Amino acid sequence: MKTTELRELTKAELEKKLGELRRELMMSRFALANQQLKNPLKLRQLKRDVARILTIMNEKGDH
């Protein structure tokens, strides 16, 4: 997910995307604990995407 794409989204869209990513991160953590996660680097990318959205929300003053 690119930063430029995220900056174009509205507050509601960012919040929706953030919720989706957090849900996916939670499910990935469960899969990792159960040794069912095929790509463990996915966790890193999900965490970075969540941080990226939070940063953009803070910059916009929407958080």
Q: pLDDT digit string (tens) for 15-51?
A: 999 999 999 999 999 999 999 989 999 999 999 999 9
Count of Cβ atoms closer than 10 Å to residue 18 Cβ: 18
pLDDT recorded at residue 1: 74
User: What span, in angstroms and rounded, lies between the C-alpha atoms of 49 and 8?
Assistant: 15
User: What span, in angstroms and rounded, lies between the C-alpha atoms of 57 and 15?
Assistant: 9
Please state the pTM of the whole predicted model: 0.88
Better pLDDT: 57 or 63? 57
* Confidence category of residue 52, pLDDT binned at 50, 70, 90: very high
CATH 3.30.70.890 fits 3-60, yes or no: no
CB-side neighbour CA atoms (13 Å) of 63: 13
pLDDT in tens, 2-18: 899 999 999 999 999 99
User: What span, in angstroms and rounded, lies between the C-alpha atoms of 4 and 6?
Assistant: 5
At residue 1's C-alpha, the angle toward residues 33 and 50, to 5°, is 50
